[in-house]
Structure 1
Amino acid sequence: MSKILIRGAKVLGGEPQDVLIDGAVIEAVGTGLPDEGAEVVEADGKVLLPGLVDLHTHLREPGREDSETVLTGTRAAASGGYTAVFAMANTFPVADTAGVVEQVYRLGQEHGYCDVQPIGAVTVGLEGKKLAELGAMHESAAGVTVFSDDGKCVDDAVIMRRALEYVKAFGGVVAQHAQEPRLTEGAQMNEGVVSAELGLGGWPAVAEESIIARDVLLAEHVGSRVHICHLSTAGSVEIVRWAKSRGIDVTAEVTPHHLLLTDELVRSYNPVFKVNPPLRTERDVTALREALADGTIDIVATDHAPHPHEDKDCEWAAAAMGMVGLETALSVVQQTMVETGLLDWAGVADRMSFKPARIGRAAGHGRPVSAGEPANLTLVDTAYRGAVDPAGFASRSRNTPYEGRELPGRVTHTWLRGKATLVDGKLA
C-alpha cells in the first residue's frame, strides 16, 4: 500500500492535523483528509517531526564491527527517529580516501534504515600531518562535504588553515574536535573540584576553548566554514557567540549527554560516564542549554560512540571514552529543553533536523512537513515515560549512561521517503 494517512498528529507540536503520504512524498497536510485507499496510522495527538538528522555518528564499520555496523547503527538511528546520519571517519581503515567513504555510503544504501552520509578525514590516518584526499572524497559517489578528524584534534594551525582553504572551493565544512593535546595529556575527566577530590587527571576547559578561539579566527581569515563538534563548556559558548557577532561562518553542536549529565557522576567511577569531551559542571550544563535555546549553539548531535562490553567493563583509566546516544537523544532533549520551557517542538525540529541537514547539505532531509516534500518523518509519543533498558537497544553496543533512568518520550514511527522503518516502536 503506497498511501499512508497519519491522522491527528500535532505537526511540530501544533494543532492536530492529518498528513497524507503518497509513495515517497507528502501529498497533503490538513484536517479531515480522506483515508480511502490509505493505511491509517492513528496519531492520537502524538507530535510529528521531520526525520531527525545526526551530524555526528560513529558507525565503526569498517574495522570495529564488534562495536557497531552500518546495519545495526542505522537500525538504532531509525529507532531514535533519525532518517539521516553522518558517519565519522575514525574507522579502520580511516575514511580518508574515496574508496572507503564510498564503501560506507553504499552500505547505508543497501541496508535502508536511514541515509548514511560519510564524513571524510581531514588528515591522512587522522595523524594531523598531511591533508587527506578532500577533493577526491567530495567528487566520489559519496559526495562528501563534511570533514573531521573527530577523536583527534587538528592541532596544527597550518594544516587547519589549508583544510579550510581547500573545502571553501566546494562549499564544504571542517568539523573540529577541539582538544589541545598538550593540555590534556593523561586527562581522565573534567578539571575541577571533583577531579581533585578523586585524584583523576584533569581535563581543563581551556583545552577546548583555545582551539575554538584559534579556529574561528582562521575561518574568518580564510572566509570558510568551521563547525565545532560536541561543545561542552560555558567559555566555549562565549567564544562562539563572539565569533557569530563578528559574522564568522561558525556553527556548533552540543550532545544530549552534555545537556543533562555532570562530572558529579564520575564519583561512581563507572566508566559508562567516561566520554570525550568529559562531562562538565552544572554551570556548564546551564550555559549549554541556554545557548542551544538562543541559537548560539546551532544543533544537537549525538556523538553516538558504541563500544563492546569489554572496553567499558573495566577500571576507569583503561576504559574507552564514549556513549551510545541515537536511541535516547530525543528523550533527553525533551527533558532538558522542552519540559524546561527552553524550546518548543518547532525549536526541536530546527535543532535536530532543519539545521543539521543544512550544515551537512543532506539533500531531501530537514524539510518542512508540507505537501510536495519528501516523506521523511518521525512520530513521537511525548506523554510516554519509562526507564531506559539497553537490553532493548537496536545498537550492537550497550554503553548508555541512562540505564534505569526514567526519560520522557518515545518514538513510535519513523518513515524514510514514505517507507516505514519503525512501526509502533518496533523496527520494520
Structure 2
Amino acid sequence: MREYLPRIYDPVLKRRLRAKGAVLIEGAKWCGKTTTASQIAQSSVYMQDPKTKTQNLRLAEIAPLELLAGETPRLIDEWQLAPQLWDAVRFEVDQRDDFGQFILTGSAVPADTDAISHTGTGRIARLRMRSMSLFESGDSTGAVSLGKLFEGEELPIASADSSLEAIAFLLCRGGWPRAVGLEGEAALLQANDYLDGVAQSDISRVDKKERDPRIAYALLRSYARMSASQGKATEILSDVNAQGVKAGESTVRDYLRALSQIFVIEELLAWSPNLRSKTAIRTAPTRHFSDPSIAAAALALGPGDLVADLNTFGLLFESLCVRDLRIYADALGGDVYHYRDRSGLEADAVVHLRDGRYGLVEVKLGGDSLIEQGASNLVALRDKINSEKMGAPSFLMILTATGDYSYYREDGVFVVPIRTLGV
C-alpha cells in the first residue's frame, strides 16, 4: 500500500466534523476524497465493494440504519449508489443529537435527487476537496506561509530550486494523488486518462443525458485555450465549430454546466472592492480547470511543448497558482477571486478571508520585466482601493515559476516562487 501523504484537508475535515453531524466531501474524481476520509473514519462501509454491493443496496432499501451502525465517524463511500441513505443519515444525526457521526464520499457524479426528500441543511455540511497542491505533493517547501503573511509576519528569504522545465512537468502531471510520486510518462498519462473518462463517460453520467464525446473533446480543447481568460460561451462555440464539430450555443452551455457539476471546471468569480474612484469593474468570471493538467491534456501538450510556447505556459501556470491558492484559502477559511476593471488594472487572484482580510496576487512566469509590470499593477490597485472602508491589503504578492529565492521589494511587493509557498 502506498504511503499516505498528509492533506491540507485533514484538519479541515476534522474541524467540520466538530461542528456538524455529518460531512459530505465533494470534488473531482481521483482527488483523494475516500482516502482522506478513511484516515479519520473509525468504521466504514464501501457501497461499491463487489463482495457486498448487492447486500448493501438491499439493506439501503429495507434497513438503512443497519448500514449506519458502527464506530464514529463512520465513512459511507459511494453513498450515491443508494441516495435514500442521505435521508437516513439526516434522520440518524437528529436522533443521536451529536456531531462527528458520518462522512459521506463518492463519485463526482451527483446522486439522484429524486430519492432525497430533505436537503440536510443544518445536519450535513459540504466540504469541497481539490487535487493536491505543490505543498501537499512535496514539490513546494512551504517556507512561505500564506497564513503567516496574513498575520503580518515578515516574508522569509526562502530558497527555491526550480526551473521552467520542472514547473512544466508538475503542471502537466497535475495534483492527482495517483500521479504524485510517479516519474516521466507514467505520471503524465494520468491526466490523459482523466480527460478520456470525462469526455467519454462522466459528462453523460452526470444527469444520465447522452452527450457526444466529440463535442466534449472539442469543448475541453476550446476551454483550455481560454484558461485564465474571461472568454465568453459564444467564443467557445465559435472555436468548437472551427474544429469541425457542429454544436449550438445551448449545447455548449449545457456541456459547460455538466463539466462544472462534476468539478472539472471551476470559474474564478470577480472581486468587487470599495474603490476611491468610480472605475467600472469587469464582473465576468475567469475560466479555469480544477487542475491545470486537464488543460494540458486537452491541448495535447507536454512539458516540452509548454517551454516552447511561453504564452500558453503562462496562462496554464496561472491556473496552477489559482489551484494552490484555493487549497490554502480553504484551510484559512477564505475564498479566491480575480479583479479586472475597464482601465486594464488587474489582480490575477485575490485571497479574501471571511474576517475581511485580503491579499492581492499577480502571477508571472518570471523575469525582471514581468515582475516589474506585475508589481506596478499591484501597487496601482492598492492605491485605488478605499482602505478606510475595507482596510489595506495584508500583502501584495507576485507568484513566479522561476527565481532563486523569495524576496521583499522596496515598494512593498513580495516576490514568491510557487515552490516555496504553503499554507
TM-score by length of 1: 0.28
* Structure richer in strand, relative to its length: 1
Q: Higher Cα Rg: structure 1 or 2?
A: 2
Q: Normalising by structure 2, what TM-score?
A: 0.29
